Chain A
């Protein structure tokens, strides 16, 4: 139907030291450090270890600039912006991780099924995948979030549906080429159960592709969640989301620049972290990229 977007060449995760190879690259090291830092801060905020609660309002101190007390300033309710931004990061991470987890598991399973068994299952799965691909992704997420009762989990599910086809395609393509490789043929000819062949021989060899896409999909999921919230259809308030913080800041930015700056910077940092990791992973797993 359309152009296949499959990273080059089959690569396995079996080869040792992927983590080390990723972290030895500057991109990987910076990305990982950034992500760990953001995740720790978000976790500290979620566990209530920081000074302020993101939901507690303090009207007298509203729209105050950054200070020693409120590092990122306050919003129009006098809520601490640092607390809100960090809980928004926590929310983004939670939504993105759950969404990508769901789509990776479902998409990989379907992709293996279609790629390995082919025929009817391939026709059906590829058909549905093509439909989802042709459906404008933003509209699909938007419609799904309006259909489901809205909370962070349903937002994650909606985003997952949008990304399933990418995993299906990636896995299917990789499976098709792995199936032709000798050791898989050998396994088939020895009469091994097809499922066992898939799990023991095919899955490990397509896992590399999936891992690379996971890292990239995480960055897209963060962006999609933010965009949905910006349109007012993402994570519902009072929970903070990076997109809704920026949406709210549109009206306050001229009296309080910090309301736009900090959420904006944080969303970019978060996406950069995932992108750097994704790049490093791809390089590390690509045999041609090894130096």
Chain B
């Protein structure tokens, strides 16, 4: 009898206690970090704390707040000074001289100077480091410290994209005194926050670095709290346990209830159907053009992502954005699709197999299904091979596919974004599945050109060429959604999805 009564009472007690959270329960970390700590909801914790090898979104987000880079991006993704106060390119374009900021210290108190820059850039270039930004320094042949606050980079060819490439967190400047193995557990950077501690797959905490060279952060600390999926993150925000989160899934963002502000930011990353022009029916340009004409990008966007995004051409960075109307079939044209197919001698239809990743990002399977339905109306059968994300990456990396439904990351500089894909020497060219002498020539011109307007024209031409050849089928760019609860203000989202502006956030 007693048991039967006690149990419901106990449960009811827990429920009531949970419904009316006391201050200490809402601000979980406040007990450890003092008032004013910000809780950021993330779906996964960083898979590495080494900035040079970090590609995972969550790792990049944490490390951007801990480490510093020579250059940085402002909210329009224009390159602005970071650890380098200014830089200058020589007349012939083969020397880049960086003037470093003085009075910068690492979190461990050591002083930042040119030795750290040389050490870091050389390590990034060394193959055994396995740094992902190694190829961004391909044009750099020599790195010399002229004096403690000056570094000179000698270049084999002019490289207009270099200052922008230096802003990547994969180019973070580490102290020359640190061993990378030690940094895996105890990061030591020059960023606005210092690493304090982490509980694997639960949370990671940062604390304000008062010695930061710029304006110090407004919040005292940040806790990245791991909640495995976005629906649950939103649920945690609804109950006030998490204050800020960057969401990807438009459906989740749309389901946000009262008390949560959602801000949309157009992204550099783009959704595309990658075609491998070196395989099967897709070697024929007409087949590729037929596919391109058979697809209504707006409908794919509307169905797969609830219309949350914009139809796009190849280049997505604001300064160089491709005109989405500059393509063989700016709007869906089934008649022309059939003509192209007939020209390819495939009037009866073709079958293309596409790999689709399941779980890597929210809209992948939806997109694939929308594409499949549309192409079917033009007698093009798109067979879908749905793969667990590990298997998908394996196939993608090996370029073992005819077509791939992909969400690829974008970069502010178009050379950094596509040079590695569509030049015959590019390290991702095998995956891109297309190259031509004309594109090689255009990319070389773009790299050597320093005049902004002239560069824009060159990249517009590259974009037009990619579309005319139907190298891939570019679909749309999505948004990311910055969700904040009441009282959180000041966050400036970036088009690369970065959380680098956490120091501007205040919690009232």
Seen from chain A, the residues whose Cβ lies within 8 Å of a Cβ on chain B are 55-57, 59, 62, 76-78, 145-146, 150, 232-233, 236-238, 250-252, 254-255
Contact = CB atoms under 8 A, between A and B. Distances in A.
B373 interface: yes
Nearest to B250: A251
6 contacts: A76-B366, A77-B370, A145-B388, A146-B391, A238-B369, A252-B251
B148 interface: no
A251 B255 contact: yes
B303 A77 contact: yes
A125 to B, nearest CB: 31
A257 to B, nearest CB: 12
B129 interface: no
A62 B303 contact: yes
B369 A77 contact: yes
Interface string B283-299: 00000000000000001
Contact of B388 (A57, A62, A233, A255): A233
Contacts of A77: 303, 366, 369-370
Given A251-B255, A255-B255, A237 B386 contact: yes
B135 interface: no
A55 B369 contact: yes
Contacts of B365: 237-238
Nearest to B390: A146
A145 to B, nearest CB: 8
Contacts of A76: 251, 303, 306, 366
B302 A59 contact: yes
Nearest to B253: A251
B131 interface: no
B369 A255 contact: no
A236 B358 contact: yes
Nearest to B232: A250
B359 A232 contact: yes
Contacts of B255: 251-252, 254-255
A237 B231 contact: no
B372 A255 contact: no
Contacts of A255: 254-255
A57 B369 contact: yes
B373 A150 contact: no
Contacts of B303: 57, 59, 62, 76-78
A56 B390 contact: no
Given A232-B359, A251-B249, A56 B373 contact: yes
B299 A59 contact: yes
B252 interface: yes
Nearest to B362: A251
Nearest to B229: A250
Nearest to A78: B303
Q: Which 4 A-B pairs have the closest CB atoms?
A: A236-B386, A251-B251, A254-B255, A237-B365
Interface SS of A by simple majority: loop
Given A250-B231, A252-B251, A55 B388 contact: no
Contacts of A59: 299, 302-303
B387 interface: yes
Interface residues of B, number: 26
Contacts of B369: 55, 57, 77, 237-238
A238 B359 contact: no
Contact of B384 (A57, A145, A238, A250): A238
Contacts of A252: 251, 255
B231 A251 contact: yes
A138 to B, nearest CB: 15
Contacts of B306: 76
Nearest to A232: B359
Interface string B333-372: 0000000000000000000000000110000011011101
Nearest to A239: B386
Contacts of B386: 150, 236-237
A178 B369 CA distance: 54
Nearest to B231: A250
B358 A251 contact: no
Contacts of A57: 303, 369-370, 373
Interface in B282-339: 299, 302-303, 306
A239 to B, nearest CB: 9
Interface string B232-256: 0000000000000000010110110
Nearest to B307: A59
Given A56-B373, A251-B249, A255-B255, A237 B302 contact: no
A255 B302 CA distance: 17
Nearest to B256: A254
Nearest to A250: B231
A173 to B, nearest CB: 36
Given A57-B370, A59-B303, A252-B255, 4 more contacts: A232-B358, A238-B369, A238-B372, A252-B251
B354 to A, nearest CB: 12
B298 to A, nearest CB: 10
A237 B405 CA distance: 14
A143 B359 CA distance: 16
A78 B303 CA distance: 8
A76 B252 CA distance: 13
Contacts of B359: 232
Interface string B129-153: 0000000000000000000000000
A89 B251 CA distance: 25
Contacts of A150: 386-388
B89 to A, nearest CB: 48
A194 B110 CA distance: 83
A77 B363 CA distance: 12
Contacts of A145: 388
A262 B365 CA distance: 22
A138 B483 CA distance: 34
Contacts of A78: 303
B407 to A, nearest CB: 16
A287 B236 CA distance: 54
Given A232-B358, A250-B231, A251-B255, A146 B373 contact: no
A112 B125 CA distance: 64
Nearest to A149: B385
A232 B362 CA distance: 11
A55 B358 contact: no
Contacts of A146: 388, 390-391
A55 B386 CA distance: 16
B332 to A, nearest CB: 13
A141 B366 CA distance: 25
